[in-house]
A and B are shown apart, each in its own frame.
Chain A
């Protein structure tokens, strides 16, 4: 029990932060938002998976990936392929030249289901694919790059290029992928109509619980020795290497984990929004995910969830209220955050909460707990002394 408390929740303060987040998304939102807004929040929370994956990869690992949309998309497409096959039964597609295949294949003169679609008729296979396809893909990318010691800005550019390639591939091969329209008109999951309000509510809770689970798992990873090594690598990679660790293996591992987390978000996105399209795979969504993490505070697993929610609420709210001005307002928000709060929402909290008497005990105890479990975790990375970090990792 104590093990779970310290490692999965991150001590007293971590547990409190998770509890507050859980109350917010599991109790307050469902109580106070109507079905439409709740479904929107559900959609935002699927992006939070990608933001959490970036905390591991970028915040702690120091590896900036501008291609998280690729993994979000792989997870989303795997789920969409299963749902599309279920929606394309011969009865509802009887006006097609070839009934029983997805409608866009029929429009593109395909007369039978392509081989790689066939396994997606199985739900078990689909669930496995959501985990395995992104991790294998991430492994291949990670292995070929980290083993050659490609890192930093080169890695960021290459991941971005991969996002472009995948988008072009999906758009170009529209007979197999649905092209620029994406995979639309998804109806049921194993016979369960996912378009109804009750289904959306259920999916919202599944999504929220999965997100909390992923956050706790990430916490566990970060409070382990592996988490300390990650930080050490970020600060002084050579030192870790000379200490006898194979740095590239750790990087490959964290890249794969972050890919799987993003993919789970993608799959939940498809379920809640009802379609998947290449506009979640390319550069723009991938960079948006980085923005979510930056606004929330890339060193904070909980902070990025709030960051994602804030940015998306802003996007929806501004665009509803000022349809012609909203992009400028969003731009203003990003500039303000980057200029005044380089550590994001989490940074604001850590800086100002101690000054409020009523919040002080909460913050102080938290800092202690964090220091105990992860000596290297300090809010502002600029103050990190390479010496102390490496020692923390060794000890």
Chain B
């Protein structure tokens, strides 16, 4: 009896499975047959009749690993979802992952390996500007395509890169406008880590504050990357009593900066602080209690209340654990594979030149992005909304302001 029923059961599931396989096979061959490999891949990329290979290039080791982990997890989630929904042009996506090891030359070496030896059809990766600058010449020379997820300083527009994070003006101008209007801010104190992104951001901020908002910059300070002594800067802040502290401190310094502010008695009760560099990921290290009431300006917060985001957060936590948090860059990284899919399907080809061509029409758009509707601008950056979140003790932000879609402008005139 039991034997019989098991056999029956096996038979049934077997039939079901084979039906599923057959159905899948038929749809995928039907799809792939519409797009023969010889036509969709004229430049010898790693595309076969049923698979397409892409690269993921983030730091899995070294100081940047903590920041880049979220980004590569989001990219894997997006690729998994695309595969489950039938893949791209009937082809399943395979991943080759490489470790950039928080080391810019390693990024260069691995990107050359991915493009030249593995012939990947696209690369999702990089986090810091330095790593992007290191791989850029290689992508241009080998004619690959990179989907880069981090908000960054702008001043760049490569044929071979799609920037899915915000460039500096998108993030900064809306944030400063809000703080000037909402808080009546007149005096600003600028502080950042000493490298290209904070310096460029503060340059744009200073011009906007002085020329557009009619405010005054009462201090501009930079600290070396990794520095943890903010005592003298905090004294200067106390002396000059700015209406707003505008901060772009990154990495390990961030933790020291907020803890020392707190210890010095500067909290949201007596000081407005707007930061460009704190996402949910950083809050894990800084601690919600040190940030409570301060503001971040970003295009995405995990707490965004829209159906796309609710679903995204659920899927992300299912794949990577209930404790995982999602920051701005993680969400931007999630967009990469989807934007690539949209471009490939619109072009009907995996060829880099054709993908770039359709990406430049300004017609690549995503309705399903967790941050809401986004559209690719011909300058390779995304139209996106800017939001201001106020941090709570639990490490999540309450969104207090949301802009309209802002046009990306990597080379802002009058701001250079």
Interface residues of A (CB under 8 A from B): 34-36, 39-40, 43, 95-97, 103-104, 106-109, 168, 171-172, 174, 179-182, 184-187, 195, 273-275, 277, 279-280, 316, 319-320, 323-324, 326-327
Q: Is B61 an interface residue (CB 8 A)?
A: yes
Could you tell me if A182 and B130 are in contact, using CB atoms closer than 8 angstroms?
A: yes
Could you tell me if A185 and B136 are in contact, using CB atoms closer than 8 angstroms?
A: yes
Could you tell me if B416 and A97 are in contact, using CB atoms closer than 8 angstroms?
A: yes
Known: A36-B112, A320-B98, A326-B99. A184 touches B136 (CB 8 A): yes
| Cα A187 to Cα B136 with chains together (Å) | 12
Closest approach, in angstroms, between the C-beta of B368 and any C-beta of chain A? 29
| Cα A390 to Cα B116 with chains together (Å) | 56
List the B residue with the shortest CB-CB distance to A316: B109
| Cα A324 to Cα B62 with chains together (Å) | 11
Which residues of the other chain, B, contact A103 by a CB distance below 8 angstroms?
A: 155
Q: Is B129 an interface residue (CB 8 A)?
A: yes
Could you tell me if B117 and A171 are in contact, using CB atoms closer than 8 angstroms?
A: no
Could you tell me if A174 and B199 are in contact, using CB atoms closer than 8 angstroms?
A: yes
Known: A34-B117, A36-B113, A324-B60. A279 touches B194 (CB 8 A): no
Q: Is B137 an interface residue (CB 8 A)?
A: yes
| Cα A270 to Cα B130 with chains together (Å) | 16
List the A residue with the shortest CB-CB distance to B138: A274
Binary contact track B68-109/A, C-beta < 8 Å → 1, others 0: 000000000000000000000000000001110101111011
Closest approach, in angstroms, between the C-beta of A1 and any C-beta of chain B? 43
Q: Is B200 an interface residue (CB 8 A)?
A: yes
List the B residue with the shortest CB-CB distance to A184: B133
Which residues of the other chain, A, contact B108 by a CB distance below 8 angstroms?
A: 273-275
Interface residues of B (CB under 8 A from A): 60-61, 97-99, 101, 103-106, 108-110, 112-113, 116-117, 129-130, 133-134, 136-138, 141, 153, 155, 194-196, 199-200, 203, 224-225, 411, 416
Could you tell me if A180 and B195 are in contact, using CB atoms closer than 8 angstroms?
A: yes
Taking a contact as CB atoms closer than 8 A, the residue among B61, B134, B224, B416 that contacts A184 in the complex is B134
Which residues of the other chain, B, contact A172 by a CB distance below 8 angstroms?
A: 194, 224
Could you tell me if B224 and A171 are in contact, using CB atoms closer than 8 angstroms?
A: yes
Which residues of the other chain, B, contact A181 by a CB distance below 8 angstroms?
A: 104, 129-130, 133-134, 195-196
Chain B contact residues: helix, strand, loop or mixed: helix
List the B residue with the shortest CB-CB distance to A186: B137
Cross-chain pairs A/B with CB under 8 angstroms, 10 sampled: A171-B195, A171-B225, A182-B134, A185-B137, A187-B137, A275-B105, A280-B105, A319-B106, A319-B110, A326-B61
Closest approach, in angstroms, between the C-beta of B62 and any C-beta of chain A? 9
Could you tell me if B99 and A277 are in contact, using CB atoms closer than 8 angstroms?
A: no
Chain A contact residues: helix, strand, loop or mixed: helix
| Cα A97 to Cα B116 with chains together (Å) | 36
Taking a contact as CB atoms closer than 8 A, the residue among B98, B104, B155, B199 that contacts A323 in the complex is B98
Give me 19 other A-B pairs in contact (C-beta within 8 A), A179-B194, A324-B60 excluded: A36-B113, A36-B116, A36-B117, A39-B112, A96-B416, A107-B155, A172-B194, A179-B195, A184-B134, A184-B136, A187-B137, A274-B108, A275-B134, A279-B103, A279-B104, A319-B101, A319-B106, A323-B98, A323-B99
Taking a contact as CB atoms closer than 8 A, the residue among B129, B138, B155, B203 that contacts A109 in the complex is B203
List the A residue with the shortest CB-CB distance to B223: A172
Could you tell me if A108 and B199 are in contact, using CB atoms closer than 8 angstroms?
A: yes
Taking a contact as CB atoms closer than 8 A, the residue among A106, A182, A195 that contacts B137 in the complex is A195
Which residues of the other chain, A, contact B104 by a CB distance below 8 angstroms?
A: 181-182, 275, 277, 279
| Cα A124 to Cα B252 with chains together (Å) | 43
Could you tell me if A277 and B105 are in contact, using CB atoms closer than 8 angstroms?
A: yes
Which residues of the other chain, A, contact B225 by a CB distance below 8 angstroms?
A: 171, 180
List the A residue with the shortest CB-CB distance to B203: A109
Closest approach, in angstroms, between the C-beta of A353 and any C-beta of chain B? 33
Closest approach, in angstroms, between the C-beta of A47 and any C-beta of chain B? 11
Which residues of the other chain, A, contact B116 by a CB distance below 8 angstroms?
A: 35-36
| Cα A96 to Cα B196 with chains together (Å) | 15
| Cα A39 to Cα B225 with chains together (Å) | 32
Which residues of the other chain, B, contact A36 by a CB distance below 8 angstroms?
A: 112-113, 116-117
Could you tell me if A277 and B196 are in contact, using CB atoms closer than 8 angstroms?
A: no
Those 6 A-B pairs whose CB atoms lie nearest each other, nearest first: A323-B99, A181-B130, A184-B133, A36-B116, A181-B133, A180-B195
| Cα A237 to Cα B113 with chains together (Å) | 49
Closest approach, in angstroms, between the C-beta of B59 and any C-beta of chain A? 10
| Cα A273 to Cα B110 with chains together (Å) | 12
Which residues of the other chain, B, contact A185 by a CB distance below 8 angstroms?
A: 133, 136-137
Which residues of the other chain, B, contact A277 by a CB distance below 8 angstroms?
A: 104-105, 130, 134
| Cα A107 to Cα B156 with chains together (Å) | 11
List the B residue with the shortest CB-CB distance to A323: B99
Closest approach, in angstroms, between the C-beta of B197 and any C-beta of chain A? 10
